[in-house]
Amino acid sequence: MKSDEITLHRGLQGVYFDRSETTFIDGKQGVLEYRGYNIHDLAEYSTFEETAYLLIHGILPTQAQLDEFDSELKAARELPEKIFDVIDLVKDSHPMDVLRTAVSALASFDPERGDNSPEATIHKGNRLTSQVPGIVMAHHAIRRGKDPVKPSSTLGHAANFLYMLEGNEPSVDAANLMDKDFVLHADHGSNASAFTARTVAGTAADVHGAVTAGIAALSGPSHGGAAENVMQMAKEIGKPENAADYVRDLLSNRQRVMGFGHRVYKAEDPRARHLREGVKNLSEEMGQPEWYQILEGVVDAMKPYARRGIHVNVDFFAGVIYYLNGFPQDLFVPIFAVGRIPGWTIQVVEQLQHNILIRPLLQYTGEHDLDYVPISERG
Ligand SMILES: CC(C)(COP(=O)(O)OP(=O)(O)OC[C@H]1O[C@@H](n2cnc3c(N)ncnc32)[C@H](O)[C@@H]1OP(=O)(O)O)[C@@H](O)C(=O)NCCC(=O)NCCS
């Protein structure tokens, strides 16, 4: 095809590549739905376990179905012993690199290894949902020379995650906020990591491979890293009254304000408001209201940019919540991954169920018909 006949879609922006029954996003109106249920209702009334069930099975569970699913998740929390050795070997790397390595290694220990049926893929994905929090927390313990905290067999998913940080049971409010954060992060259409996971599944590779690749895609700052950068920015701002000048300086140097803007949302990210309330309450409760005030100062300073479709996104408020819960900054992206496993799982299942190799084209812009010169004659 002649180059003037080719239409390039760099970054695949605006390109539909398949159909999905999982997540709906209307970026102009700021709407997000999982399986037809509005994210506002799920954030308000659901739990991570129920939302994960909804994503995986397509319907809200009955109490009996939810109890069974919850037991399946709790039963899968313990990690195979050898995974601790794998984590120990790479413990000095960034937690996302450790998570990627450990998830890849988990494939070798999975009882349904090699089975790519939808049923086995769902079982394996559910096991990963339970195991990933344990990997993140075990690594954090091992790198500090401590023994990993054994997972609780009774606490809910979010409360257990917080519990494994230091072995202290979290307050109900802290656990509920973490739970809400996981609900809000559980899936998000064809973002870079889900698309990567689908591309891997498109070759008929398995869910561990797809999730490993998804973790790699998520680790980059344009995708998962914004919450970490927002926290850094809040620390640099230091006091609420410095926020406006800080933002002005950034923008006049043509730098981006982290936690603002989105490839798909040109209205406010519907997930942000739930975490905004969370930061407000948590920072007041912990006697550190300045964090919320600093963030609000940044939001005020960014108001003129709303006209250009640059609004606050989910990562803007997430970082401060993680910080106030005692997580170091390099665990912020892994926390995003903890919430995202059900989304990656169901997208891999969808991909495998009506599979097609994902193989777009590149427009070649190099040279043609060059003469091959033997190495002895090259100058
Ligand atoms: C998320 C992001 C990568 C989306 O980018 P995108 O859809 O490719 O949009 P573009 O990079 O083309 O930006 C379009 C315009 O908005 C501006 N813009 C986008 N995000 C901005 C931000 N956070 N702060 C200031 N300006 C921003 C760009 O500078 C660009 O302006 P220009 O047209 O004058 O050059 C981008 O908004 C960003 O870098 N945000 C900060 C990081 C972040 O919060 N990421 C988490 C996303 S959930």
Please count the CA atoms within 13 angstroms of the CA of 303 that sit on its side-chain side: 6
Task: Please give the full DSSP string across 241-275, using - where no structure is assigned.
Answer: GGHHHHHHHHHHTTPPPTTB--SS-SS--TTHHHH
Cα(135) to centroid(ligand 1), Å? 32
Is 255 a pocket residue for ligand 1 (Cβ < 6 Å)? Answer: no
- Name the pTM for this structure: 0.94
Instruction: Write out the catalytic residue numbers.
Output: 262, 315
Tokens of 224: 């998962």
Q: What stretches of the chain adopt beta strand conformation (E)?
A: 23-26, 31-34, 37-38
Average pLDDT, the chain: 95
35, 201 Cβ separation under 8 angstroms: no
Domains with residue ranges and CATH for the chain? 39-221+328-353 (1.10.580.10), 226-324 (1.10.230.10)
Residue nearest to atom 3 of ligand 1 (CA): 222
Q: In whole angstroms, give the CA distance from residue 152 to residue 293.
A: 35
Q: Is 257 in the pocket of ligand 1 (CB under 6 A)?
A: yes
Helix, coil or strand: residue 34: strand
Tokens in use for 349?
Answer: 């299942």
Which pLDDT belongs to residue 323?
94
- Give the count of beta carbons closer than 10 Å to the beta carbon of residue 64: 8
260 C-alpha vs ligand 1 centroid, how far in Å? Answer: 7
CB of residue 261 inside a 6 A radius of ligand 1:
yes
pLDDT digits over 357-367, tens only?
A: 999 999 999 99
Judge if the beta carbon of residue 258 lies within 6 A of ligand 1.
Answer: yes
Provide the 3-class DSSP secondary structure of residue 169: coil
Mutation to probe ligand 1, out of 12, 249, 253, 262 (largest number of atoms < 8 A from CB)? 262
User: Is the pLDDT confidence value at 18 over 80?
Assistant: yes
The residue-averaged pLDDT of 9-22 equals: 95
106-144: per-residue pLDDT in tens? 999 999 999 999 999 999 999 999 999 999 999 999 999
